[in-house]
């Protein structure tokens, strides 16, 4: 997953390097030659990473892959620093002499010689990384080494599920699966169960399957899982489920989907059937599978599908269907399910510790409640550690705890299913914000665009692509709306429960975000995106080992020390969000004029005026002054910024 983020960041970097070559900016022939060399190398690096991501491998090759990725990440960051430093240098040189006298001169402004030396170092890093890969090649793997999608999966029909608070859901589904009433369409009915991960969709479908498949109403029954499987594999498993009259299914060719469709139709022709397809991932997957079902003239057959994606559920049930949206458990049911898992019977007479913190983390999701209950039981609940202790180290347990295995796999599967780098990066970006901070959609899209997280295309601008990524995250139920306008448009959103903890753990471990929160720094080697939460940035000493000149995004919630608020240090900054910075003053704002690459600026606090030279920030696309006390959008319209609110 880390490699996917790196590959995507390099893809975004390539156009910047091409632009650098085209503009040339009076670069020497030697520098131009080095840039073209790195341009070719970057393209080869991306293809190499993509090939490694798609190639199956055994665990003993993983360490070598990580070693290579570490080399490539350092190279990618180094090249990006060179590109942005040169852009900053060019922007600085283009400013008037009066502006350069008024604004503090950057201390790390690259000279032509220094830039050439950095490029030479980048070239050397490419050679060294290549030599290291030659000395320690990753052994080639065969397809047999790849894990089977079903290798670790258990049949949910055989599991005694912990169904709490689902009576209403069950009754509604059974009502939809009942015999067609007079006047209803005489055709196949498809019922879709949709909701975010961990809500119990599969468990509910299995419960309904046991109820419906136990009688004599249906001639054919099947339960198949579609996750990580091709349509051919799903159809082959369906044939095997049909029973002893399908012994030939053992030798089925899963690549011949058309033939499999014919075989399924032959088995279902003129019969009543009930089929559950668990965890469908795409509309294309459903379209191929659906073509295997014969026309049902008497309307007696039923198909149930489960999915985490709203648009897929809608497509599955578009004709004579029903979409059932799962909801989270209420507080009473959440507490009941958690207590059943956490508290052994011999301790039922004990006074139960306060469970508020853990219930808030689980957010009414049954899988999270069961996982946390079993975990706390394993460490001595209710006489062991408190819920607060467990919550404080939840991300460590999610990554390493044995009882967290099912939840970890569910979360990782949701993340891995996101196509491409941009969508993954957009999701990880939510780690920049505290859990109690709803995010405005428009501001979020502007930030994604300003940081270059979404790849621009000739036929589509960055804001439109950012909006498409936002809509897909919403469609996949990975984020949820908080404020919605009268016409249904999302205004504010948030992450939730254990999904947020997973995003935090992943973004920090992949060096995507450097986070200061809970009186501790959670950082990797590189500080590209810096987020400071709730007065955890008041000590200057905590920042002495961070090179602020390389930070691309800075967001402050609460108070900050002088080092952090010295904006002359952030030469390559593109996003600056000070809306929730409590001690922001006019004097701090003067240093912002030094941020020549800044694209997004949000102000708050006691700011009463903007420095005149802010108009020189030619890359500034968005200026948000709504949270300032004395500034209004009309007062800053004259700065010729494309988006002032």
Among 554, 540, 537, 525, smallest CA distance to 432 is for: 554
pLDDT of residue 151: 40
pLDDT of residue 5: 65
Distance CA 404, CA 398 (A): 6
pLDDT of residue 287: 96
* Burial of 255: CB neighbours in 10 Å, binned 0-12, 13-18, 19+: exposed
pLDDT of residue 384: 60
pLDDT of residue 334: 94
What letter does residue 308 receive in the DSSP assignment? S
pLDDT of residue 390: 75
Instruction: Give the contacts of 512 (CB within 8 A, at least 6 positions apart).
Output: 5, 425, 428, 429, 431, 506, 528, 529
Instruction: Give the contacts of 437 (CB within 8 A, at least 6 positions apart).
Output: 494, 557, 580
Which string of b and e fits 633-642 if b means at least 16 CB within 10 Å?
eeebeeeebe
pLDDT of residue 82: 77
pTM for this model (two decimals): 0.86
pLDDT of residue 329: 95
Residues (pLDDT < 50) of the chain are: 1, 56-67, 140-148, 150-153, 244, 246, 524, 640
Identify whether 100 is preceded by a cis peptide bond (ω within 30 of 0): no
Task: For 228-284, write each residue's pLDDT tens digit.
Answer: 899 999 999 999 998 745 456 556 788 899 999 999 999 999 899 999 999 999 999
Distance CA 256, CA 252 (A): 9
Which string of b and e fits 185-198 if b means at least 16 CB within 10 Å?
eebbbbbbbbbbbb
pLDDT of residue 25: 59
Among 206, 167, 439, 486, smallest CA distance to 327 is for: 167
Distance CA 462, CA 643 (A): 14
Provide DSSP, 243-289: -GGGGGGGG--TT-HHHHHHHHHHHHTTS-EEEEEE----HHHHHHH
């Amino acid at each position: 997953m880390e490699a996917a983020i790196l590959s995507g960041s390099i893809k975004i970097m390539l156009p910047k390097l091409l632009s650098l070559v085209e503009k040339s900016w009076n670069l020497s022939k030697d520098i131009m030659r080095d840039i073209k060399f790195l341009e070719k190398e970057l393209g080869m690096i991306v293809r190499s990473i993509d090939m490694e991501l798609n190639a199956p491998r055994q665990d003993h090759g993983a360490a070598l892959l990580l070693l290579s990725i570490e080399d490539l990440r350092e190279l990618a960051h180094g090249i990006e620093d060179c590109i942005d430093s040169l852009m900053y240098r060019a922007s600085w040189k283009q400013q008037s002499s009066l502006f350069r006298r008024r604004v503090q001169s950057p201390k790390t402004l690259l000279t032509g010689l220094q830039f050439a030396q950095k490029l030479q170092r980048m070239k050397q890093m490419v050679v060294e990384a290549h030599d290291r890969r030659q000395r320690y090649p990753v052994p080639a793997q065969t397809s047999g080494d790849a894990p089977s999608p079903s290798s670790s999966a258990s049949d949910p029909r055989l599991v005694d599920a912990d169904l709490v608070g689902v009576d209403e859901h069950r009754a509604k589904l059974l009502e939809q699966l009942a015999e067609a009433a007079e006047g209803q369409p005489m055709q196949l009915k498809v019922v879709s169960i949709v909701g975010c991960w961990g809500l119990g969709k599969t468990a509910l479908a299995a419960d309904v399957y046991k109820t419906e498949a136990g009688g004599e109403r249906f001639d054919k029954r099947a339960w198949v899982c579609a996750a990580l499987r091709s349509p051919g594999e799903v159809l082959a498993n369906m044939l095997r489920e049909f029973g002893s009259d399908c012994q030939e299914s053992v030798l089925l060719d899963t690549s011949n989907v058309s033939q499999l469709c014919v075989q399924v139709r032959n088995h279902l022709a003129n019969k009543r059937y009930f089929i559950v397809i668990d965890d469908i991932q795409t509309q294309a997957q459903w379209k191929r599978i659906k073509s295997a079902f014969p026309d049902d003239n008497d309307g007696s057959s039923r198909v149930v599908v489960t999915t985490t994606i709203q648009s897929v559920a809608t497509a599955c049930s578009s004709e004579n269907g029903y979409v059932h949206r799962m909801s989270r458990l209420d507080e009473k049911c959440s507490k009941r399910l958690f207590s059943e898992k956490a508290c052994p019977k011999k301790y039922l007479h004990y006074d139960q510790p306060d469970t508020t913190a853990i219930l808030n983390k689980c957010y009414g999701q049954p899988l999270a409640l069961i996982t946390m209950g079993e975990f706390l039981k394993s460490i001595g609940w209710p006489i062991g550690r408190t819920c607060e202790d467990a919550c404080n180290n939840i991300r460590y347990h999610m990554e390493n705890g044995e009882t967290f295995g099912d939840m970890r796999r569910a979360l990782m599967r949701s993340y891995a299913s996101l196509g491409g780098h941009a969508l993954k990066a957009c999701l990880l970006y939510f780690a920049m914000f505290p859990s109690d901070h709803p995010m405005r959609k428009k501001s979020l899209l502007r930030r994604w665009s300003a940081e270059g997280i979404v790849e621009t295309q000739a036929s589509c601008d960055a804001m439109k692509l950012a909006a498409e990524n936002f809509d897909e995250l919403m469609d996949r139920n990975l984020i949820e709306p908080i404020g919605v306008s009268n016409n249904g448009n999302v205004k504010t959103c948030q992450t939730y429960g254990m999904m947020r903890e997973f995003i935090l753990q992943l973004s920090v471990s992949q060096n995507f975000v450097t986070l200061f929160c809970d009186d501790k720094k959670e950082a990797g080697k590189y500080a590209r995106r810096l987020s400071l939460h709730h007065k955890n940035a008041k000590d200057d000493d905590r920042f002495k080992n961070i090179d602020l000149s390389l930070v691309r995004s800075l967001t402050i919630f609460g108070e900050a020390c002088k080092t952090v608020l010295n904006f002359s240090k952030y030469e390559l900054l593109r996003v600056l969000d000070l809306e929730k910075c409590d001690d922001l003053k006019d004097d701090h704002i003067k240093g912002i004029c030094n941020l020549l690459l800044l694209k997004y600026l949000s102000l708050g606090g006691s700011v009463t005026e903007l420095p005149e030279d802010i108009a020189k920030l030619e890359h500034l696309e968005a200026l948000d002054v709504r949270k300032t006390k004395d500034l209004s959008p009309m007062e800053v319209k004259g700065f010729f910024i494309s988006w002032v609110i």
